[in-house]
Structure 1
Amino acid sequence: MAPAQPATPPQAAPAAPPAGSPPGAPPRPPREGRPGPGQTEATPPAAAPPVPGQPPAPDQRQGRRDGIGLGGAAAIGAAAGAIGGIMATQGADRIDDIRGRREERREGDVTIIREPGRTILRDGERTIIRRDETQRFRDLGLEGRTERRGEENRTVFERPDGTRIVTVTDADGRLIRRARLDRNDREVVIIDNTRRDRPRQRFSDEVVVLERPQLRIPRERYIVDAERADRDLIYETIVAPPLAPLPRRYTLDEVRYSPDLRARMRSVDIDTVTFESGSWDVAQGQAQRLQVIADSIRRALQKSPNEVFLVEGHTDAVGADIDNLSLSDRRAESVAEILTRDFAVPAENLTTQGYGEQYLKVATQEAERQNRRVTLRRITPLLAGQQR
């Protein structure tokens, strides 16, 4: 499956959206012969005929939310307390290495699947994935110290230049706050989920439903293909204001799980980097293609050092949905790590999320390299409630 692309382009989209249309497009036909847990992108189900796929419309308008449903939300805190980081990936670089190390149990209506580096939560047909919000810093070689403060964990990573990155997570492992402090203790707040306009909610309420704005720009400038775009267009896309006014500011989880919110920001489809089936490894030759993306991000950060960019991971439509969700999340993380390690993009200004096969660039149920990709989107205005 392929993950997050901007929510369906505003209502200028045709009745049957073209391949690659973002979240919220009409649902694709139900897939027959859904592959079992032992099948991934690399092992398509033998009897499953290809069915043209379209991104599924979020079914919150039918009384459910995009994530854990109302019945199982209460179980999440107890069941998923230490989000995904209890085990490192431990050298795995293919989904086949992960599948056999999963542990699954039920808590009320919720199925909790623990695997190295990730926790997957499923309620009926709705599934989300979470990870340790500090693990990427450790993977990049930074040493952190963590202390418990009440029901929160505070982790501090210090760079050789004395800069400190402070990440605060709640008892469920969700990110509350991330800030950067220089050697003189001057603070730049990157993400602040403590500034909520509503009281703390159950997960099922984290999905925001908004009317889709009308698309007033060409679609190819709404979802920009990096392979066909020059530096100026990529930069223009990632710093562009929201397509429509924002009623309020939103939390990171609301942005991650709400197609309507993400649809308000333009995105860059990084189709210059694709992946082998079943793998999240970025080939050395492809990694260099991220230079233009990194240059644009650093240019944006020079003007506003607290910008936040969401790296969204995708897969093709072959394989079990749990495998594809995990695979897409790891692809997003791989690209984020390269942007930091090879191109000096500050890790704290990046966040990641996998969406599995929800948003296909090429509408096919068969193996398709173009669907195995990542997308970049600036989300700072959504977190801050800015109109531009």
Structure 2
Amino acid sequence: MRRIIHNTTAIVTCLALLAPQIAAAQDGPGDEPREGLSAIIQQAKKAAQDDKQMAEEEDARPAVKGQNKDKNDRKKADKSEKKPKAKPQKADKDDAKPKAKPDQQDKKDNAGIMGEPGKAAREQKAADDKKPAPKPKADSNVLTIGKGQVQADRAAQMPGLAKVLNQEVQDGLTRDQLTCLQGGSYPCADGDRAITPRGVVIEPNGGGPFRLADTANQMFRIGKSGDMVQRAAEEDTRETQAAREAAKQSQPVSAAALNASEGSGKMTEQKVTKDSTRSSSEDFATSLRDALAGDDAARNRSRDDAKDDDSSSDLTKALLLGAGALAVGSFLNNNRQVALSAPDRVVVTRDDGSQEVIKDEVALLRQPGSNVTTENFDDGSSRTVVTREDGSRVVTIRDADLRVLRRTLVSADGTTTQLIDDTTDVQPVDVSQLPAPAEVQNSDAPMNEDELRAALRRESDIGRRFTLSQIRNIPEVRSLVAPVNIDAITFDSGSAAIRPDQAKQLQALGRVIQDSVAENPSEIFMIEGHTDTVGADAFNLALSDRRAESVALALTEYFDVPPENLVTQGYGEQFLRIRAEGDIRGNRRASVRRITELLRTAGAQ
């Protein structure tokens, strides 16, 4: 019996010694022992107490014969040997309860030594490592480039821009970083094109990704140094019939007015007053919309006036004398059809569909107080002399289409300055041999006076001269000198008038031109007008030409810029600064270009 007690006590002692380790393996959250462990210990203690009590009872009974005593001793020994085995059975019953969490099960099964992960933990980690990483959720804001054939073709045509775009995408370009080509932030209306932060124009490809916009819509190109260079508005534009004719010209235009003596032509005379001239703040009396539609009275006047004269002389009469308009739909020489007709200018359409504006080039010179004398000759050419109150004179000779062939300033002291002369040294133009376009203004911020002076006086080493007609009609020639945008001027829709508060913002430009003319009286600046694509082509061309004239008038009225040193030209919607269609303010603009170096005329004589 005492042996049984000793065995039971030993079991309890072992359990007591193992209790901390078992507790550490089975502790739950908050370091609280699990119920299974407590049950095992309590059952072991109870078994020991029962064995002790049984032993005491056996000792109290009377002795029996040895045979029976041995038999009872063997039964008690067998009983005492079976009791320890019953305890693990209860522990196994506890194990049937829900298994512990994976991290706790790793500790329970084959727990490692000194906190190292056990076998189960290592096996679980190996299984986790073999699982594929979960795919990240698609971010709808991240910009991606399509893989279609159109994108591949355009990337091959514009490898430099494609490289810039790919780099932006790799750097994490998002859709909210885009700017709409027509203005405003992304998303753009109706899937319009957008510009990346570095200036690449892209467009939706019909799905989620984007692709490069075509060359005609790109605002930048890659320069020789690998940098992004803003493209001139004249780059990659369609060649017109007027440009081809100007490029082929190799002989000066002949005109009777060039060699005729003064007073030999049909003479008209006009005294200019304030009431007979237009200021920059006033719009034109004739509505271009009405002129575009044409009216029966205008047609009848034109036909009556043209009975004894050809159409060229009729054009001269209409514009020089303001006697009326040509009939819309009628034809001038060189098969040019009248698309818009107004007393101040006419728009004609050529065989290739391109359009030209014809106007009175002396309109700027008709300042109040001056006396204007015009001689008309049989070939349609004319000579106009504007005599000012200070005694100076400006002599302008034009051909039958009113193009300026020669302009000369005769100062009050008799000094003669040749301003324009297209009657000598006329050379054809091979566009493919011309230098690259000049770098254009790459900022919408207004320039101060010093910046304007530097931009306008930047000279180009062209190595030859061009006629005024070549400069006006050949975009590649004109782009050899960069334009300066006149951002201070905005026009109302359909209007060519400039408000006085806007005109005053031309002060810096006026000073720069005035100073340039004071240093070199033969300086020539061309004021250009542009529109957006809203409206008819003929309407926009005439409107842009009127706007260019308004800017020139403002420079003369407010800052005393000599009008003879200015020429004006409207281009309508031909050369968009922002290469997109629609109502875009950035395309309704005026700009100025110093063309002295292109003309290469003689100085004072």
* TM-score of the pair, normalised by structure 2: 0.47
What amino acid does structure 1 have at the position aligned with 2:455?
T
Q: How does 1:61-72 map to 2 (within 5 A)?
A: 64=241, 66=243
2:487 aligned residue:
271
Q: 1:197 to 1:365 in 2, by over 3 A?
A: closer
1:318 aligned residue:
534
Higher percent of residues as strand:
1
Computing the radius of gyration from Cα coordinates, the structure with the larger value is 2
Deviation by residue 1:4-23 (Cα, 9 ceiling, x = unmatched): xxxxxxx9998553188434
Deviation by residue 1:326-375 (Cα, 9 ceiling, x = unmatched): 00000000101111111100000000000001122233322122221111
What amino acid does structure 1 have at the position aligned with 2:361?
E
Give the whole-Å Cα distance in 2 for the aligned partners of 1:256 and 1:182. 27
Give the whole-Å Cα distance in 1 for the aligned partners of 2:601 and 2:371. 33
Give the whole-Å Cα distance in 1 for the aligned partners of 2:246 and 2:516. 37
Residue 284 of structure 1: how far off its partner (Å): 1.7
1:126 aligned residue:
354
What amino acid does structure 1 have at the position aligned with 2:219?
P
Measured on the aligned residues, the alpha-carbon RMSD in Å equals 3.3
Pair 1:357-2:567 in alignment:
no
**Residue from 364, 369, 379 that aligns with 2:585:** 369
2:75 aligned residue:
none
Structure with the greater relative contact order (CA < 8 A, sep ≥ 6): 1 or 2? 1
Q: 1:145 to 1:245 in 2, by over 3 A?
A: same
1:153 aligned residue:
382
Give the whole-Å Cα distance in 2 for the aligned partners of 1:141 and 1:258. 37
Pair 1:231-2:449 in alignment:
yes
1:245 aligned residue:
462
Q: 1:179 to 1:226 in 2, by over 3 A?
A: farther
Give the whole-Å Cα distance in 2 for the aligned partners of 1:146 and 1:250. 27
Q: 1:280 to 1:91 in 2, by over 3 A?
A: closer
Give the whole-Å Cα distance in 1 for the aligned partners of 2:430 and 2:366. 32
Q: 1:379 to 1:232 in 2, by over 3 A?
A: same
**Residue from 84, 104, 115 that aligns with 2:342:** 115
2:411 aligned residue:
182
The 8 Å contact of residues 227 and 272 in structure 1, kept in 2 or not, is answered as: no
Give the whole-Å Cα distance in 2 for the aligned partners of 1:148 and 1:274. 38
Deviation by residue 1:69-92 (Cα, 9 ceiling, x = unmatched): 99xxxxxx9xxxxxxxxxx99942
What amino acid does structure 2 have at the position aligned with 1:274?
T
**Residue from 58, 61, 68 that aligns with 2:238:** 58
Deviation by residue 1:193-215 (Cα, 9 ceiling, x = unmatched): 112335xxxxxx8x762445346
Give the whole-Å Cα distance in 1 for the aligned partners of 2:391 and 2:246. 44
1:339 aligned residue:
555
Give the whole-Å Cα distance in 2 for the aligned partners of 1:254 and 1:208. 11
Residue 235 of structure 1: how far off its partner (Å): 0.5
Moved more, 173-182 or 145-154: 145-154
Q: 1:303 to 1:286 in 2, by over 3 A?
A: same
Give the whole-Å Cα distance in 2 for the aligned partners of 1:352 and 1:106. 25
Give the whole-Å Cα distance in 2 for the aligned partners of 1:183 and 1:344. 17
1:8 aligned residue:
none
Q: Which runs of 4+ in 1 moved over 6 A?
A: 11-14, 67-70
Pair 1:294-2:520 in alignment:
no
The 8 Å contact of residues 181 and 188 in structure 1, kept in 2 or not, is answered as: yes
The 8 Å contact of residues 533 and 573 in structure 2, kept in 1 or not, is answered as: yes
Residue 315 of structure 1: how far off its partner (Å): 0.6
Q: 1:172 to 1:91 in 2, by over 3 A?
A: closer
Residue 65 of structure 1: how far off its partner (Å): 5.0
Give the whole-Å Cα distance in 1 for the aligned partners of 2:290 and 2:403. 26
What amino acid does structure 2 have at the position aligned with 1:122?
T
Moved more, 261-270 or 148-157: 148-157
Give the whole-Å Cα distance in 2 for the aligned partners of 1:297 and 1:129. 26
Moved more, 352-361 or 103-112: 103-112
Residue 226 of structure 1: how far off its partner (Å): 7.2
3-state SS of 1:274 partner: coil
The 8 Å contact of residues 370 and 389 in structure 2, kept in 1 or not, is answered as: no
Residue 255 of structure 1: how far off its partner (Å): 0.6
Give the whole-Å Cα distance in 2 for the aligned partners of 1:225 and 1:304. 29
Q: How many percent identity over aligned positions?
A: 32
The total of aligned residue pairs comes to 315
Give the whole-Å Cα distance in 1 for the aligned partners of 2:369 and 2:500. 20
Give the whole-Å Cα distance in 2 for the aligned partners of 1:69 and 1:187. 28
The 8 Å contact of residues 286 and 342 in structure 2, kept in 1 or not, is answered as: no
Give the whole-Å Cα distance in 2 for the aligned partners of 1:197 and 1:91. 36
Structure 1 regions of 5+ residues with no counterpart? 1-10, 27-56, 71-76, 78-87, 199-204
Give the whole-Å Cα distance in 1 for the aligned partners of 2:601 and 2:395. 23
Residue 229 of structure 1: how far off its partner (Å): 1.6
Moved more, 364-373 or 105-114: 105-114
3-state SS of 1:59 partner: coil
3-state SS of 2:545 partner: helix
Q: 1:281 to 1:185 in 2, by over 3 A?
A: same
1:45 aligned residue:
none
1:303 aligned residue:
519
The 8 Å contact of residues 527 and 592 in structure 2, kept in 1 or not, is answered as: yes
* TM-score of the pair, normalised by structure 1: 0.72
Give the whole-Å Cα distance in 1 for the aligned partners of 2:458 and 2:525. 13
1:18 aligned residue:
219
The 8 Å contact of residues 345 and 357 in structure 2, kept in 1 or not, is answered as: yes
Q: 1:94 to 1:268 in 2, by over 3 A?
A: farther
The 8 Å contact of residues 93 and 281 in structure 1, kept in 2 or not, is answered as: no
1:7 aligned residue:
none
Q: 1:208 to 1:231 in 2, by over 3 A?
A: farther
What amino acid does structure 2 have at the position aligned with 1:381?
E
